[in-house]
Structure 1
Amino acid sequence: MSSIDACLAGIAKVNERILAKPEEDRRKHIRERSVSVVVPDLPAVFDMRLTVEGLVDIVQRPRGGPEARPQVRITVDSGDLVDLAEGRLDPGQALLRRRIRLDASMGDMLRLRKFL
């Protein structure tokens, strides 16, 4: 199990990867979406917005509190979140092995695969 700080660092690393893509590619594949990352092994949910400028407005809140329904919800254990961010866990394999759960529209899933 990783800490909340390690999860935030992992989210920051994913944001760096998104911003490393050329702006033209980001504009082509990213549609602004609300995103929640639910971490079941920690008492935390991370809410943010995915935009062409990367992941913005990142807020950590306690799990179980009131929430708006995000357009994309990712459920992943803290250790797997850190491993995904560090490149030690392949996103496709994680989805197939059910180590990560992605609740999003089909269009959003197809766009997101370009950046995971």
Structure 2
Amino acid sequence: MATIEECRAALDQLSGNLARADEGVRGAAALDRSLSCHITDLDRTFTGRLDGGRIRVDGVASGPPRTKAEIRLAMTGDDLVSLVSGELNFARAWASGRIRLEAGFRDLLRLRTML
């Protein structure tokens, strides 16, 4: 099972990957939205913002998200680490229910280019 530190490192790596991505992906990630990522097996939630094509983590709290972020993710820590390392395909994991992504319709349309 991934640790909270490994999950934080994975989110930092994902932020770096987005910043270095090609223009199409960077453009899709250039939203300014609140973000939460609930790590289900650790019952911890990272909160922050997707801003300017980067993920900024502002905090981590016990339990599910306390407020409803504009973009909400939920997955196990191992799935987060595997996703960021390229071992887990997001679209397949999302379709099978391993990863939950909730956002407004317009945001989902923009984010789909990142998948």
Shorter-normalised TM range? 0.7 to 0.9
TM-score after normalising by structure 1: 0.87
Q: How does 1:78-97 map to 2 (within 5 A)?
A: 78-97=77-96
Query: Cα gap change, 1:57/1:95 in structure 2, threshold over 3 Å: closer, same or farther?
Result: closer
| SS of equivalent residue, structure 2 residue 97 | coil
Q: Which runs of 4+ in 1 moved over 6 A?
A: none
In 2, Cα distance between the equivalents of 1:40 and 1:53? 25
Query: Cα gap change, 1:24/1:82 in structure 2, threshold over 3 Å: closer, same or farther?
Result: closer
Give the Å deviation of 1:64: 4.8
Cα distance per residue 1:10-68 (max 9 Å; x no partner): 10111111100256863x32220001001110031000100115111431111157x22
In 2, Cα distance between the equivalents of 1:23 and 1:52? 12
Unaligned runs of at least 5 residues, structure 2: none
Unaligned runs of at least 5 residues, structure 1: none
Equivalent residue pairs, number: 114
Amino acid at match of 1:51: D
Amino acid at match of 1:91: F
TM-score after normalising by structure 2: 0.88
Question: Identity across aligned pairs (percent)?
Answer: 29
Give the Å deviation of 1:106: 1.9
In 2, Cα distance between the equivalents of 1:34 and 1:40? 19
Give the Å deviation of 1:69: 1.4
